[in-house]
Amino acid sequence: MNTVEVITLVTGGNRGMGLEIVKELSQKGQHVIMGSRQLENGRRAIEQLATTSGKVDLVQLDVTDPASVTRAAQTIATKYGYLTILINNAGAVFDHRQSAATVTSENLHLDFEINYFGLVDVSQKMLPLLKKSPQAKIINISSMMGSKTAALDPQSSVYKAVAVGYQSAKAAANMYTVQLAKEMLREKLPITVNAIDPGMVATEFGSGDPELAKKNGGHAG
């Protein structure tokens, strides 16, 4: 009996946590497609992985550009015919601790474009490819920062956090995850949809300092 190859797409896969996901999954035998906004950055990342990873291909994918997402879906359809796993990893924070009373509309839009609308667009356009797999998964990289429960809990590390746009976009993405998962169940499709919180990761996300994140308990990613 032939085993169907696991083909996984990782958005924002050329750096930080996305790059580590690409590396780890390819080492475990998955055929990983690295989504990168800039092809040159993706090529450099693949060169960096050359001696430590398995099958890794590259596709140009800017989740905030609908035309780019459409082209990526068409490329994957042509080259592979299906998709087994979609990992919506691409994300960013733009509001940089601006308070709810002063956060700019521009930064709110930027936060939502990548963390919510981009995630929705990629999920919808990759869904026909996921439906062609015997079993498939959509995994959305979320954050406790988007939890209203944690934001209201004085004992939570999120209680004093201020990133209004990013937190709101993640909360919206969490709800989209729930609704899409329920839809897959109603339609009896073999596709699971989940959101995961990786916790603090030692990367440059949000213009952060990876070494400082490590000192505060962040794990390498």
Q: How do the pLDDT tens digits run along the chain, 221 residues long?
A: 468 899 999 999 999 999 999 999 999 999 999 999 999 999 999 998 977 768 999 999 999 999 999 999 999 999 999 999 999 999 999 997 899 999 999 999 999 999 999 999 999 999 999 999 999 999 999 998 988 888 888 998 888 998 999 999 999 999 999 999 999 999 999 999 999 999 865 444 444 444 333 443 444 44
What CATH number has the domain bearing residue 18?
Answer: 3.40.50.720
Q: How many distinct structural domains can be found in the chain?
A: 1
- Nearest 5 degrees, angle CA 120-CA 10-CA 40? 110
pLDDT, position 121: 98
Q: Does residue 205 form part of some domain?
A: yes
Does residue 178 form part of some domain?
A: yes
Neighbours of 130 (CB within 10 A): 23
The closest of 79, 46, 45, 75 to 61, measured between CA atoms, is 75
The structure's pTM equals: 0.87
Q: Is residue 215 a part of any domain in this protein?
A: yes
34: CB partners within 8 A, 6+ apart: 10, 13, 14, 18, 22, 42, 45, 46, 56, 57, 58, 59
Q: Is 44 within the bounds of a domain?
A: yes
Which amino acid makes up residue 74? Q
Which tokens in the block code for residue 119? 């995630």
pLDDT of residue 2: 60
Closest by CA position to 23, among listed 196, 15, 73: 15
Q: What is the largest CA-CA distance in the chain?
A: 61
Residue 1 inside a domain? The answer is no
Q: What is the pLDDT of residue 52?
A: 72
Residue 2 has phi, psi (to 5 degrees) of -75, 135
- Tell me, yes or no, whether 152 lies in a domain: yes
The domain in which residue 194 lies consists of 7-220
| Alpha-carbon span 25 to 217, nearest angstrom | 24
Q: Could you tell me if residue 2 is inside a domain?
A: no
On whether residue 200 sits in a domain, the answer given is yes
C-beta separation of 8 from 84 below 8 A: yes
Kindly compute the dihedral angle of the four CA atoms of residues 99, 103, 107, 112, in this order, to the nearest 10 degrees: 70
